Amino acid sequence: MRKWAIEREVIEAINESARYSLPNEFLCLLRAEEGVICELLLLPGTLSGESHGILDVNMAPISYGVAGSAHSHPSHSNEPSDADIGFFNSMGGVHIITCLPYDDGSWRAYDSSGRPVDVDLV
Ligand SMILES: [Zn+2]
């Protein structure tokens, strides 16, 4: 199984964007280099709504090292919803969910089946 790592600044950017997006969700894609998630990819087709972020996957620059996605929950749960797991399935890769209060302990990473995975902070 693939082992992922993520740069601390990426987590901070996700949490900051999540705070900024309140009361809505924040959603973006993640780019990785050699298994290290190093960048957020913001997509022009991405809308955020109060119920759930909507992502136009066709807008994703697939050849650009897309490793998965990250989104925020405007609640205290970072558990994936059924819709989240359906989306993870369709994309593959690694997926991060962060929740209130959007700090270092708020986020969790999941595989494409919605199972929690360990991701190292680098
Ligand atoms: Zn969600």
Q: Looking at residue 27, which CATH number applies to its domain?
A: 3.40.140.10
Q: Give the SS3 label for residue 99.
A: strand
Ligand 1 centroid to residue 77 C-alpha, Å: 9
Ligand 1 centroid to residue 31 C-alpha, Å: 19
pLDDT by residue for the chain (122 residues), tens only, comes to 578 999 999 999 999 999 999 998 999 989 999 999 999 988 765 555 554 555 555 555 555 688 999 999 999 999 999 999 999 998 889 999 999 999 999 999 999 999 999 999 99
Taken in order 17, 29, 68, 51, the sign of the CA dihedral is: positive
Ligand 1 centroid to residue 38 C-alpha, Å: 21
- Overall domain count for the chain: 1
Q: What is the pLDDT of residue 65?
A: 80
Ligand 1 centroid to residue 30 C-alpha, Å: 15
Ligand 1 centroid to residue 33 C-alpha, Å: 25
Q: What is the pLDDT of residue 16?
A: 95
Yes or no: say if 102 and 19 are a contact pair by the CB < 8 Å rule. yes
Q: What is the pLDDT of residue 53?
A: 53
Taken in order 59, 60, 62, 65, the sign of the CA dihedral is: positive
* Domain hosting residue 95, numbered range: 4-121
Ligand 1 centroid to residue 55 C-alpha, Å: 12
CA 36/CA 46 separation, integer angstroms: 24
Q: What is the pLDDT of residue 54?
A: 54
Ligand 1 centroid to residue 22 C-alpha, Å: 14
Q: What is the pLDDT of residue 56?
A: 56
Ligand 1 centroid to residue 34 C-alpha, Å: 26
